[in-house]
Structure 1
């Protein structure tokens, strides 16, 4: 199972690096029923950190980060993630706490993610 989670996290990291110019520093993912819940640390670029020094800037970075990632997954379903978990991607719920640079993404699939503890 740890191999599947590692590959799942690696795919998240690569996509976010492509989108934002910087991949997260650390990702922790757990599979629960039909969901993959990923806690993502160290997301922000130096530019975003600078912008987020004001309340208005934090709101801009928060909105851009959450809406952009949701739009990408909605328009381009993550085929590699689907192959890894053996289920069809349905939706993504995501949020980020700018002050602490921690994001959460909940990937919803069409059926329970079948895990093999020997992997």
Structure 2
């Protein structure tokens, strides 16, 4: 499963970089049943950090980093992510804590993405 998670994280980083000009510096993902839960660290560009110094700016960055990502994923489904997990993405929930530059995304798929063989890879 580690290889699939690594591929999944690389694709998330690439997609976010294409959309915002910077991908997360670090991503931690867990697969659980039909979900991939990702914690993303170091997401904001220097410009976003500057804008977020005011309360209105913080709200603007938050909105862009949540709503825009959801719209991008719904209008242009990430087929490569679906190929990695072998299931269709049906929902994406995402939020970011601008002050700490930490985001969480929950990808919900149409079927279980945990594979029995993956659960025992470490036992080999």
Shorter-chain-normalised TM-score: which range? over 0.9
Please say if residues 86 and 114 of structure 1, whose CA atoms lie closer than 8 Å, have aligned partners that are also in contact.
Answer: no
Provide TM-score, normalisation by structure 1.
0.97
Partner of 1:31: 31
**Deviations 1:75-104, CA, capped at 9 Å, x for gaps:** 111111111111111010000000000000
Deviation at 1:114, TM superposition (A): 3.1
RMSD: 1.1
Partner of 1:80: 80
| Higher Cα Rg, which structure | 2
SS of match in other structure, 1:53: coil
Can you give the 5+ residue segments of structure 1 that lack an aligned partner in the other structure? none
Work out the number of aligned pairs and report it. Answer: 119
Please say if residues 24 and 43 of structure 2, whose CA atoms lie closer than 8 Å, have aligned partners that are also in contact.
Answer: yes
Structure 1 moving runs of 4+ over 4 Å: none
Indicate whether 1:4 and 2:4 are aligned.
yes
Indicate whether 1:18 and 2:18 are aligned.
yes
Can you give the 5+ residue segments of structure 2 that lack an aligned partner in the other structure? none
Deviation at 1:21, TM superposition (A): 0.5
Partner of 1:60: 60
